[in-house]
């Protein structure tokens, strides 16, 4: 519980009463690697904090050629968040890349937190704003940066974690073939 409290305290003050109410709703979950934790076509019922591990967002494509849509790392929230917010079927799935430990809250419990705590909406606003910024940077980078720049950014932001992600997923995320990514990696190192 320490990490999630620290995360929330990094964005705003937390009072003990609200924290007690919120943390009582959190469920601890542990998954082995390559486990699907949210299915495509189903309504996402959880938002989760990653205590340890990496989660990949992917779109299984028609031609067996999946697209890696994003990654989430330790100390970040993960959810098929658009499906969660709209309570409509998800267009992508979530899969653990390595052994992963989560703290999860359900949709209805979170609505309860929004209604019954003082800080709920403030924290919810700040989390939604952060997730917007991540999504916006991703879209801008896809439109504006070269594949080299996108790889370089991921490489500098996540120097240790990048070693744990298979090359083909990184290539798909960056929007190049695995062969092109090999060339980029050689140039940089």
CB nearer to a second copy: pick between 92 and 151: 92
CB nearer to a second copy: pick between 6 and 125: 125
The least distance separating a second copy from the CB of residue 28, rounded to whole angstroms, comes to 26
CB nearer to a second copy: pick between 51 and 169: 169
Contacts to a second copy by CB under 8 A: 59, 67, 69, 81-82, 85-86, 91-92, 114, 121-122, 124-125, 128-129, 131-133, 135-140, 142-144
Q: What is the CA radius of gyration of the chain?
A: 17
CB nearer to a second copy: pick between 68 and 96: 68
Q: Taking the CB of residue 84, how many other CB atoms lie within 10 A of it? A: 19
Residue 61's Cβ-count burial label (10 Å; 0-12, 13-18, 19+) is exposed
Selection from 131, 134, 138, 135 nearest residue 175 by Cα? 138
The least distance separating a second copy from the CB of residue 173, rounded to whole angstroms, comes to 10
Rounded distance, CA 111 to CA 120, Å? 9
The least distance separating a second copy from the CB of residue 116, rounded to whole angstroms, comes to 13
The helix/strand/coil state of 124 is helix
The least distance separating a second copy from the CB of residue 81, rounded to whole angstroms, comes to 7
């Amino acid at each position: 519980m320490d990490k999630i409290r620290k995360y929330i305290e990094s964005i705003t003050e937390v009072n003990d009463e609200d924290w007690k109410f919120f943390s009582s709703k959190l469920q601890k979950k542990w998954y082995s690697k390559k486990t699907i934790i949210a299915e495509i076509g189903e309504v996402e019922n959880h938002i989760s904090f990653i205590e340890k591990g990496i989660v990949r967002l992917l779109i299984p494509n028609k031609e067996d050629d999946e697209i890696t849509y994003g990654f989430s790392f330790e100390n970040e929230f993960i959810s098929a968040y658009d499906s969660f917010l709209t309570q409509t079927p998800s267009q992508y799935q979530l899969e653990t890349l390595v052994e992963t430990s989560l703290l999860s809250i359900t949709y209805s419990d979170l609505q309860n937190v929004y209604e019954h705590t003082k800080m709920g909406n403030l924290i919810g606003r700040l989390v939604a704003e952060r997730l917007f910024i991540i999504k916006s940077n991703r879209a801008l980078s896809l439109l504006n940066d070269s594949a080299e720049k996108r790889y370089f950014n991921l490489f500098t932001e996540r120097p240790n974690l990048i070693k744990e992600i298979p090359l083909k997923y990184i290539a798909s995320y960056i929007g190049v073939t695995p062969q092109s990514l090999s060339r980029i990696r050689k140039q940089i190192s």
